[in-house]
């Protein structure tokens, strides 16, 4: 069998969330909002907030270590590391390089970041899959890790209520078994609508200055109404496209694991697909929107709770700043059966 015919599957998964929980009641003391207002508009009751000295690379390393432990492997068994994040520790070097050192991965492997915001984990999966099928890499860590509390304006009630911190990691591995693991992917982007969800300051176009700091240009800004509209349409279309690509019907999919952005978005996507919400597992109420970490966090929870079983078809889908989007259909493969 040629390397291009190899299947790529999730061998193990691990997550990490900060200890601190920030409830809606606590937020109502910080901005003009209420528990009822937040829950009604987003479905979120609380979110995790990283400590000042707890960075995305720290959280990502802990999540990756758990994935390796579940797989019965060590850091030296990893051939490649890809980190999806929109809140890197520093502009450079990459968060992946920092995570490599903290986790103790080999020094002769490539490590790099993928920047696709909330779609980053789905993007990273496709990149990993294609690199693995080149035959050069057998075991790959894909990590989604975010510290969104560091870019949220805590005086803006339209955004600060939505986001939280956390990390999730999957260990991917190749197998000669056909029809398992990552079956098909769809990715897309529309930079013409970049202003709908963005952070204006901090890059080379707008370096940090006293004026930019005073103007709040280093905070996340979002046009919620337009983001909602685009997200529902594109997430539903992405699901339909990847199902058609793999010649699979929606009723054959056991679980849809969407990016955990907003409960109303999830309900609207499920409605467009004519799929019940009972097949859309969500932990949004406890973690909020954790961007690139949200899908692995929800995936791990559904697997740990015994929902996802060997042989199940699982469809993950995301939408984020860029605008970016993506969907991946996979057949869950348990090697320990």
What CATH number is attached to the domain comprising 165?
3.40.47.10
Counting the structural domains of the chain, the total is: 2
Q: What is the pLDDT of residues 90-113, one digit of tens each?
A: 999 999 999 999 999 999 999 999
Q: How far is CA 167 from CA 243, 273, 297, 325, in A?
A: 28, 28, 7, 19
Based on the domain organization, do 192 and 90 belong to the same domain?
Answer: no
The answer to whether the CB of 253 falls within 8 A of the CB of 276 is: no
Phi-psi region of 26 (alpha: psi -120 to 50; beta: other; left: phi over 0): alpha
Based on the domain organization, do 104 and 220 belong to the same domain?
Answer: no
Region 22-46: what's the mean pLDDT?
97
Task: Show the tokens assigned to 154.
Answer: 């805590």
**pTM of the predicted protein model:** 0.97
Name the band, by pLDDT with cuts 50, 70 and 90, for residue 87. very high
**Active-site annotation, residues:** 118, 259, 289
Query: What proportions of the chain, in percent to the nearest 5, are helix, strand and coil?
Result: 40, 25, 35
Length of the chain (residues): 337
Domain endpoint, select from 123, 149, 178: 178
106: domain range? 3-178
The answer to whether the CB of 123 falls within 8 A of the CB of 85 is: no
Name the band, by pLDDT with cuts 50, 70 and 90, for residue 317. very high
Residue written as tokens 């002769």? 108
Q: What is the pLDDT of residues 104-141, one digit of tens each?
A: 999 999 999 999 999 999 999 999 999 999 999 999 99
Name the band, by pLDDT with cuts 50, 70 and 90, for residue 6. very high
Nearest to residue 64, comparing CAs of 11, 116, 130? 11
Based on the domain organization, do 166 and 241 belong to the same domain?
Answer: no
């Amino acid at each position: 069998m040629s390397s291009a015919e190899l299947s790529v599957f999730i061998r193990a998964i691990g997550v990490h969330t900060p200890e601190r929980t920030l409830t809606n009641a606590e937020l109502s003391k910080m901005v003009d909002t209420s528990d009822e207002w937040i829950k009604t508009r987003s479905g979120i009751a609380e979110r995790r907030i990283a400590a000042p000295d707890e960075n995305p690379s720290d959280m990502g390393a802990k999540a990756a270590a758990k994935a390796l432990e579940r797989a019965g492997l060590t850091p030296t068994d990893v051939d490649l590391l890809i980190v999806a994040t929109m809140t890197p520790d520093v502009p450079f070097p990459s968060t992946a390089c920092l995570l490599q050192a903290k986790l103790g991965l080999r020094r002769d492997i490539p490590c790099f970041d993928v920047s696709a915001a909330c779609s980053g984990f789905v993007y990273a999966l496709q990149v990993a899959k294609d690199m693995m099928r080149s035959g050069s890499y057998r075991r790959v860590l894909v990590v989604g890790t975010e510290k969104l509390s560091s870019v949220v304006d805590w005086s803006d009630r339209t955004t600060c209520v939505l986001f939280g911190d956390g990390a999730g990691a999957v260990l991917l591995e190749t197998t000669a078994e056909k029809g398992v693991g990552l079956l098909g992917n769809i990715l897309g982007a529309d930079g013409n609508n970049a202003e709908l969800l963005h952070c204006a300051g901090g890059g080379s176009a707008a370096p940090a200055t006293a004026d930019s700091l005073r103007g709040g240009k280093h905070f996340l800004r979002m046009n919620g109404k337009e983001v909602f509209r685009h997200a529902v349409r594109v997430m539903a279309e992405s699901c339909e496209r990847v199902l058609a690509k793999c010649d699979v019907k929606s009723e054959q999919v056991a679980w849809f694991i969407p990016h955990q952005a907003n409960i109303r978005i999830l309900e609207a996507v499920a409605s467009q697909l004519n799929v019940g919400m009972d097949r859309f597992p969500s932990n949004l109420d406890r973690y909020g929107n954790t961007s690139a970490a949200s899908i692995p966090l929800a995936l791990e929870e559904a697997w740990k709770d015994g929902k996802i079983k060997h042989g199940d078809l699982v469809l993950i889908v995301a939408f984020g700043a860029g605008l970016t989007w993506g969907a991946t259909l996979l057949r869950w493969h348990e090697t320990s059966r």
